[in-house]
Amino acid sequence: MPKAALYSAEGVRIGDIELQEDVFGIPVNEHVLHQAVVRYLAGRRRGTASTKTRGEVSGGGRKPWRQKGTGRARAGSIRSPIWRGGGIVFGPKPRSYAQDLPRKVRRLALKSALSSRAQDGDIVVIEEFRVEEPKTKRVVKLLEALEAERKVLLVTGEKDRNLQLASRNLPGVRVVLADHLNPYDVLAADKVVLTKDAVAKVGEVLANA
């Protein structure tokens, strides 16, 4: 049974907590993880690059010189792709780079990511985040107590506006809901900090996936 360090809301270690075997203790499927990460990064691409074809470039409405008798090569338009200032052949056009994966594959990838971090000892569980007011200093102090001071993923069960406001100025700190957890964020963080209710919610969603 995989375990993780358990901390109180004040950042004091109070023991260990057992994690669900079928969510945090499965064999890591690297192929599925790679697919999920590629899908996530592809979905982040804006796909707005655009070039003009010869039909979209301005100018070139008439034949630059007569067909025969000049000694030069035949030319029908100064906007031909072989001319300077001409159109672009097979250039990029706005498109979507989004990829799709079956739901079971996506969930297997997330379980593999969580299991990988659990095996490395990079998952920490805290009873709850108590941020009464949006003060960054409070979050910094708590992360120092959790020994999570670099790239940190904070996973909560419910939306916490004060926590969002208090942590958004901290470089490397990302706050997500358990419902929005994805393999890329889990793998990109040096430490994954979950609340107890987030652990329960993740287990509820992924246990039978």
pLDDT tens by residue, 103-157: 999 999 999 999 999 999 899 999 888 777 888 888 888 888 888 878 999 999 8
Residue 80: domain span = 51-91
Is residue 108 located within the same domain as residue 157? yes
**Mean pLDDT value across the chain:** 90
Co-location of 115 and 83 in the same domain: no
- Is the same domain home to 60 and 85? yes
C-alpha dist (Å) from residue 11 to 45, 130, 175, 199: 38, 10, 17, 17
| More reliable by pLDDT, 96 or 142 | 96
Residue 139, both tokens: 């979050």
Same domain, 133 and 105: yes
Q: Please give the pLDDT value at position 209.
A: 61
**Judgement on whether residues 133 and 163 belong to the same structural domain of the protein:** yes
> 128 with 175, same domain?
yes
- Beta strand 123-126 with 3-7: parallel, antiparallel or unpaired? parallel
Same domain, 119 and 181: yes
The tens digit of pLDDT for each residue in 8-21 reads 888 888 888 989 99
Residues 18 and 56 in one domain: no
**135 and 185 both lie in a single domain:** yes
| HSE-up of residue 11 (Cα within 13 Å, Cβ side) | 13
One-letter amino acid identity for 120? D
Distance CA 97, CA 113 (A): 23
Q: Find out whether 194 and 123 touch, Cβ atoms under 8 Å.
A: yes
